[in-house]
Amino acid sequence: MSKTTVGFIGVGRLGFPLAAALADAGFPVVCTNRGRAEEIVARGATIPGDGTARAVAEAADVVVSCLPSVASLEEVTTGPGGVLSAGQVPPLIEASTFSLTDKARIRAEFTARGAELFDAPVSGTPAMVEARMAVIYASGDQGVHDRFADVFKAMSPNYTYVGDFGTGTKMKLVAQFLGMVHVTAAVEAMAYAKLAGLDLGQVAELISASPGAMSGQFKVRAPLIAAGRFEGRLVTVNMALKDLEEIIAYGEELDAPLDLVHIANEHYRKLAEDGFGEADPGKLFDALLGERLVRAQ
């Protein structure tokens, strides 16, 4: 039995390792001619026809999208040459982190064509996806999920079907809520250690081995902070702000407590305004120490 042909739209920072995982698992992958298309073609993928989203949809049994903005999702779905302009519209697994309102609006366009849009955001950095450690929270029609469970599994062995459409985004927002608070706490703890005169390399090593104190974000970022590496290899401040805005907007709808998230958002908003939007959020370490050094003068 031949494997499912998977279309992939959005072969970028996060999408590339997802598409590569599919190709490595032996799935025929077709992609648009944008982003890191040449690299994924070198891994065995092909670019169908004119390389548009419509051409990908017409060549695939199911399509995965992983995109940086709602505008880009609208362009490749409802725009000219988009997925919905295909003669037969396949299910779309939408792996980006956008608001439920935006995803539901675009899903309605798919429903009108008798197709399904699956809400399946990824929780994890590109490096985590590549290491097969990321989690996908898949939500949508159970029957469609069951048909393409092997596709989800190939992209992330840790994927979970979490229920009806929208549940995936809700779960991802909880994960991002904790992730951004933990990042901010790790940065502030390292600044505290620096001001206390401790060796940051030793702090990173010892605290990462302490079950009662360590978080995954501390374990990842403390060594980078100790080494002064803030180039945004994992995620950028701008990307963090996009997720924080989604967390806050939905949290306000729920009347949820958001104190720590608001503090994190204020930190990274100022960092972006100071010109560090493409840096890793760990760059906050320099900003916090700088503020204190100025006050001490």
Task: Give the pLDDT score at 124.
Answer: 86
Could you give phi then psi for residue 46, rounded to 5 degrees?
-130, 155
β pairing state of 92-94 and 117-119: parallel
- Pick from 130, 132, 133: which is nearest to 216 by CA? 133
pLDDT band at 292 (very low <50, low <70, confident <90, very high): low
Domains of the chain and any CATH numbers: 6-165 (3.40.50.720), 173-290 (1.10.1040.10)
Q: Which residues contact 128 (CB under 8 A, 6 or more apart)?
A: 134
Summarised one tens digit per residue, pLDDT across range 216-266 is 899 989 999 999 988 866 789 999 999 999 999 999 999 999 999 999 999
The pTM for the full model equals: 0.90
- Residue 137, beta-bridge partner list: 160
Active site residues: 172
Residue 246 Ramachandran class (φ > 0 left, ψ -120 to 50 alpha, else beta): alpha
Two tokens, residue 115: 């197709």
Query: What is the enclosing helix (H) or strand (E) of 119?
Result: strand 117-119
